[in-house]
Chains A and B, each alone.
Chain A
Amino acid sequence: MNEPHMPERLPVFPLRNSVLLPYTLGPFSAGRSLSLGALETALAGEDKQVAVFAQKNPEAETPARDDLYTLGTLALIRRMVRSEETIEVLLQGTARVRLVELEQTEPHLVGRLEEAPIAVESGPEVEALQRELIKLAGSYQSLAQPVGELDINQMVAQVHDPMHLVYLLGAMIGLEPEKAQALLEAPSLTEAMKLLHGYLNHEIQVMEVRREIAGQVQSEMGREQREYLLRQQMRAIQEELGEQNPEAAEVATLRERLAQAPLPESARREAERELGRLESIPAASPERQVLRTYLDLILELPWEAATVDNLDLKRAREILDEDHYDLESVKERILEHLAVLKLNPQAKAPILCFVGPPGVGKTSLGQSIARALGRRFERFSLGGLHDEAELRGHRRTYIGAMPGRIVQAIRRAGVRNPLLMLDEVDKLGRDFRGDPASALLEILDPAQNYEFRDNYLDLPFDLSRVLFITTANTLDTVPAPLLDRMEVLRLSGYSDEEKLQIARRYLLERQRAQAGLTDRRFEVPDETLRAVIARYTREAGVRTLERTLGRLARKVALLYAEERPVPDRIEPGRLAELLGPERFFPERLRTELEPGVATGLAWTESGGDVLYVEAIALPEGEQLTLTGQLGNVMQESARAARNYLISHADLLGVERPGAGVHIHVPAGAIPKDGPSAGVTMAVALASLYTQLAVRSDTAMTGEITLSGLVLPVGGIKEKILAARRAGIRRVILPEQNEKDLAEIPDTVRAEMEFVTAGHIEEVLGAAIPELAERMVRA
């Protein structure tokens, strides 16, 4: 018979990460050119045989002899499919072979082989091992998932050869490559059986542990279910006993509250509808909490509740005076509103906007107004708010939705007519999330806000009874439509005299109480207060002043606590000791001004300031050089001033001057803008061209036009106070600003001289005495 011989030379198919055992079938995929070559050669052969050896090192791309195990398997290609770059084969192992040597490595491995039959014993030991293996395989099968993939019994019935059985079982349990190779290399049947016995045992243990873990997870789930069942039972028992379950009790309480709450019809309908939904929602549902919160809001909102305004004008006046010094125009406006309310209780509240530098008492004035009117006070800051939904709320469809700040504030107030203070309206943000200023438009419009609809509440709420007061440091950043809806009341900075009054009447007492000096002697004379105001603070408001007085009070408290001698009065001379060295020096007045220098007045957010304008002629060129961080408007007024003077050189009695000039406004690092330095620049240039010095005790402000007119400017009070602080006693200001002088405290007015001017010639004459003479002569 033509018994197939084993050829001595065969292509070698190296395996990475797997081992093919004799008798077993295995799918393999060849992608390496080495493997592809070996399979190609085998497929071209008559017997389709190939030698399969596992790689010791799976990483090796082109394995050498040492990278391959010596013992491998002779295999038959049973099936083959070629896809684009790989060959997939189903190999069946036929016998164990030994690799004697690699005869060829290019283009693929070819090995010289010899048969390596395994020693097959027989006897009781083999018999016993075989039975044991069959038993273990049975328990393995019962643990394996999915069951029924392979029928061990069927296999045992069909396979009689024990060696065959060992290899099949080894392939069936999917041994790791090292273990499979060890099984392949077993010298005898009994050795192989013992090895496999160990492996099977291990696999079974692993599977048992896995089943145990799975079981634990399941029992965990079982506990939750049991809890649920118990709860259901408890509910049933409660119902049987006539007790209400907590959810039903909750609904009943809400229903009762709803019946008692004074709600407008639309709100009541909505609340009842939502209450009906609440009843049908299971206790564990997260939606229940959402609904509950919503109903609470409806029930807590002051739909009808309101405080009664105190319309006693006299008392209101007293309260306002008690809390704040001066601020006459604001107090006046509040009293007007009270008067209107007295005559027409349905009058819509005005929407006020307090504008002024920090620390002048905008917020506390709001509190004081609330007290005077007998209204509840609520406030929140709009500073940095940049999401419209913050004001108007989120729709209830969103998780964690909340009503907007307005509705929240009204809920906190508990009445529908509180005084609601919206601070820092000039610092509203605006970005892609929306524009809160636009939302404010609706809220602050008395014609619309009686039907304000918060996104969360989704019911109209009447805001027209709310007295809105907004505050801002500047109006420049407040959108025009918003500004249009508000009545702007300016709170300008305080003069030193006013600060002294405020300190004596309010701040000192407050700080005395804070420091616990109520019953102790802590006397601060006016001279000392003046020194503190002038040398330790520089501000339009009184915030730093109050802090400084607080520090002073604490130092005195420390003296008391340490039982050291406390002075009867705190004289100005002791300030350095108590507060440290002076912080500010009164602005050094330039006693002598060079030709080309003039004193101007500026308005800043924190009050007024004195600034000098310096000009020099440039020998060449026509250019106007401007330095000192001047803004566009200021640059333009410099240009207008120069061109006016050049075209009116005869007025100054000089030859037509060169156009090249450099104007600098220190301090150079602070950005400046605005038209109000126009006259100052004109005076500086006139002084430069005529080489006549400007009066050093005179400061000026005003806008100029090309025809020489002087136009009014803002911030007169701050500017005049700043001039006085700097020691200037004479101020030139536009004619049309004369009315603003009424705001200046009498004490200041008495000390100073004001010159009003309608035309630049008047300004020049007032600022440069010698030029005045020249102009008169002309």
Chain B
Amino acid sequence: MDRFDDLLRLTRRLRLSRRESLQPLRWRPAADIYRTREGWLVKVELAGVREQDVDIAAGGRWLTIRGRRCDRECVQAGKSYALEIAYSRFQRVVEFPTSLEGARMTTELRNGMLLIRIVTEEVSGS
């Protein structure tokens, strides 16, 4: 019975994997984007990622956040029983309606969220 269940589950997985076969090699963290008075606030869900493992680059209208999540919290004494969190490299590209040329950026990692504040000249001028 167990073997049969395994087989079923495996088959279901196989279907899933075919659909998921388009998954890129890097995982893609979720992001919220806010329009603020002085510019933009980008909130990226990056739980478990150290600040020094994140690399943020702006170019034209694109902001690229990439990096690597290592499993530093893994319990050395125990055995892994289930795994769902994506480790290793990630990458997220956010597109803006205007160019980010000359904008100032500050980043803060708080409660597992990476907050990127972007102050554009346009807003600061007004």
Listed in ascending order, the chain A residues whose CB lies under 8 Å from chain B are 1-2, 4, 23-27, 29, 40, 43-49, 76-84, 86, 88-90, 92, 94, 149-150, 154-155, 158-159, 168, 171-172
Cβ-defined contact, B17 with A2, below 8 A: no
Cβ-defined contact, A88 with B9, below 8 A: yes
Main secondary structure of the interface of A (DSSP, over half): mixed
Total cross-chain contacts (CB, 8 A): 92
B74 partner, pick from A44, A78, A94, beta carbons under 8 A: A44
How distant is the Cα of A49 from the Cα of B71 in the complex, in angstroms? 11
Chain B contacts of A4 at CB under 8 A?
Answer: 68, 88-89
Q: A1-B55, A2-B67, A92-B25 are in contact. Are A43 and B83 (CB under 8 A)?
A: yes
Cβ-defined contact, B71 with A81, below 8 A: no
Q: Is B86 part of the contact surface with A, judged by Cβ < 8 Å?
A: yes
A25 partner, pick from B10, B21, B67, B70, beta carbons under 8 A: B21
A-B residue pairs in contact (CB < 8 Å), sample of 26: A2-B53, A2-B55, A2-B68, A4-B68, A4-B88, A26-B17, A29-B10, A40-B79, A40-B80, A44-B74, A45-B71, A46-B70, A47-B88, A48-B87, A80-B82, A82-B79, A82-B81, A82-B82, A86-B6, A88-B10, A89-B83, A149-B15, A154-B22, A158-B22, A172-B18, A172-B21
Q: A26-B17, A86-B6, A92-B25 are in contact. Are A76 and B87 (CB under 8 A)?
A: yes
Shortest beta-carbon distance from B52 to chain A in Å: 7
Q: Top 6 closest A-B pairs, CB basis?
A: A80-B83, A43-B80, A46-B70, A27-B13, A1-B55, A25-B17
Closest residue of chain B to A40, judged by CB? B79
Q: A25-B21, A150-B19 are in contact. Are A79 and B2 (CB under 8 A)?
A: no
Cβ-defined contact, B6 with A79, below 8 A: no
Q: A48-B83, A92-B25 given. 20 additional CB < 8 A pairs?
A: A2-B53, A4-B68, A25-B23, A26-B17, A29-B6, A29-B10, A40-B79, A46-B74, A47-B88, A76-B25, A76-B88, A80-B80, A82-B80, A82-B81, A82-B82, A83-B6, A90-B17, A94-B25, A149-B15, A154-B22
A159 partner, pick from B22, B68, B81, beta carbons under 8 A: B22
The 8 A CB mask of B43-62 against A (1 = contact, 0 = none) is 00000000011010000000
How distant is the Cα of A92 from the Cα of B15 in the complex, in angstroms? 15
Interface size class of chain B, counting residues whose CB lies under 8 Å from the partner chain: 35 or more
Chain A contacts of B126 at CB under 8 A?
Answer: none
Chain A contacts of B71 at CB under 8 A?
Answer: 45-48
Among B21, B71, B72, chain A packs the most CB atoms within 10 A around the CB of B21
Closest residue of chain B to A39, judged by CB? B80
Q: Is B66 part of the contact surface with A, judged by Cβ < 8 Å?
A: yes
Shortest beta-carbon distance from B28 to chain A in Å: 13
Chain B contacts of A88 at CB under 8 A?
Answer: 6, 9-10, 13
Chain B contacts of A78 at CB under 8 A?
Answer: 86
Closest residue of chain B to A23, judged by CB? B25
Shortest beta-carbon distance from A344 to chain B in Å: 80
Q: Is B84 part of the contact surface with A, judged by Cβ < 8 Å?
A: yes
Shortest beta-carbon distance from B43 to chain A in Å: 22
How distant is the Cα of A27 from the Cα of B20 in the complex, in angstroms? 11
Closest residue of chain A to B20, judged by CB? A25
Listed in ascending order, the chain B residues whose CB lies under 8 Å from chain A are 2, 6, 9-10, 13-15, 17-23, 25, 52-53, 55, 66-68, 70-72, 74, 76, 79-84, 86-89
Cβ-defined contact, A168 with B67, below 8 A: no
How distant is the Cα of A76 from the Cα of B74 in the complex, in angstroms? 16
Cβ-defined contact, A47 with B80, below 8 A: no
Chain A contacts of B21 at CB under 8 A?
Answer: 24-25, 168, 171-172
Q: A25-B17, A172-B21 are in contact. Are A79 and B84 (CB under 8 A)?
A: yes
Closest residue of chain A to B52, judged by CB? A2
Shortest beta-carbon distance from B2 to chain A in Å: 7
Chain B contacts of A2 at CB under 8 A?
Answer: 52-53, 55, 67-68
Closest residue of chain A to B14, judged by CB? A27
Cβ-defined contact, B22 with A155, below 8 A: yes
Q: A4-B68, A82-B80, A86-B6 are in contact. Are A150 and B87 (CB under 8 A)?
A: no
Shortest beta-carbon distance from B90 to chain A in Å: 11
Cβ-defined contact, B2 with A84, below 8 A: yes
How distant is the Cα of A90 from the Cα of B67 in the complex, in angstroms? 22
Closest residue of chain A to B83, judged by CB? A80
A77 partner, pick from B6, B15, B52, B83, beta carbons under 8 A: B83
Cβ-defined contact, B18 with A81, below 8 A: no
Chain B contacts of A81 at CB under 8 A?
Answer: 82-83
Main secondary structure of the interface of B (DSSP, over half): mixed
Cβ-defined contact, A92 with B23, below 8 A: yes
Closest residue of chain A to B57, judged by CB? A1
Chain A contacts of B6 at CB under 8 A?
Answer: 29, 83, 86, 88
Chain B contacts of A49 at CB under 8 A?
Answer: 88
Cβ-defined contact, B87 with A1, below 8 A: no
Among A25, A90, A158, A168, chain B packs the most CB atoms within 10 A around the CB of A25
How distant is the Cα of A92 from the Cα of B89 in the complex, in angstroms? 13
Shortest beta-carbon distance from B67 to chain A in Å: 7
How distant is the Cα of A772 from the Cα of B52 in the complex, in angstroms? 143
Shortest beta-carbon distance from B26 to chain A in Å: 10
How distant is the Cα of A64 from the Cα of B72 in the complex, in angstroms? 33
How distant is the Cα of A216 from the Cα of B112 in the complex, in angstroms? 62
Closest residue of chain B to A155, judged by CB? B22
How distant is the Cα of A24 from the Cα of B20 in the complex, in angstroms? 9
Cβ-defined contact, B82 with A47, below 8 A: no
Chain B contacts of A154 at CB under 8 A?
Answer: 22
How distant is the Cα of A49 from the Cα of B25 in the complex, in angstroms? 13
Among A44, A78, A86, chain B packs the most CB atoms within 10 A around the CB of A78
Chain B contacts of A26 at CB under 8 A?
Answer: 17
Closest residue of chain A to B25, judged by CB? A94
Closest residue of chain B to A44, judged by CB? B74
Chain B contacts of A24 at CB under 8 A?
Answer: 21
Closest residue of chain A to B81, judged by CB? A82
Closest residue of chain A to B84, judged by CB? A79
How distant is the Cα of A46 from the Cα of B88 in the complex, in angstroms? 8
How distant is the Cα of A88 from the Cα of B6 in the complex, in angstroms? 9
B18 partner, pick from A23, A80, A150, A158, beta carbons under 8 A: A150
Chain B contacts of A23 at CB under 8 A?
Answer: 25
Shortest beta-carbon distance from A87 to chain B in Å: 8
Shortest beta-carbon distance from A555 to chain B in Å: 81
How distant is the Cα of A48 from the Cα of B17 in the complex, in angstroms? 18
Cβ-defined contact, A27 with B81, below 8 A: no
Shortest beta-carbon distance from A50 to chain B in Å: 12
Chain A contacts of B79 at CB under 8 A?
Answer: 40, 43, 82
How distant is the Cα of A23 from the Cα of B21 in the complex, in angstroms? 8
Chain B contacts of A89 at CB under 8 A?
Answer: 83
How distant is the Cα of A600 from the Cα of B91 in the complex, in angstroms? 120
How distant is the Cα of A46 from the Cα of B49 in the complex, in angstroms? 12
How distant is the Cα of A86 from the Cα of B2 in the complex, in angstroms? 11
Closest residue of chain A to B53, judged by CB? A2
Closest residue of chain B to A21, judged by CB? B21
How distant is the Cα of A158 from the Cα of B23 in the complex, in angstroms? 10
Cβ-defined contact, A83 with B2, below 8 A: yes
Shortest beta-carbon distance from A92 to chain B in Å: 7
Cβ-defined contact, B83 with A79, below 8 A: yes
Chain A contacts of B19 at CB under 8 A?
Answer: 150
How distant is the Cα of A598 from the Cα of B53 in the complex, in angstroms? 126
Chain A contacts of B10 at CB under 8 A?
Answer: 27, 29, 88
Among A26, A43, A48, A89, chain B packs the most CB atoms within 10 A around the CB of A48
Cβ-defined contact, A46 with B87, below 8 A: yes
Chain A contacts of B55 at CB under 8 A?
Answer: 1-2
Shortest beta-carbon distance from B88 to chain A in Å: 5
Closest residue of chain B to A94, judged by CB? B25
Shortest beta-carbon distance from A11 to chain B in Å: 13
Shortest beta-carbon distance from B46 to chain A in Å: 14
Chain B contacts of A76 at CB under 8 A?
Answer: 25, 87-88
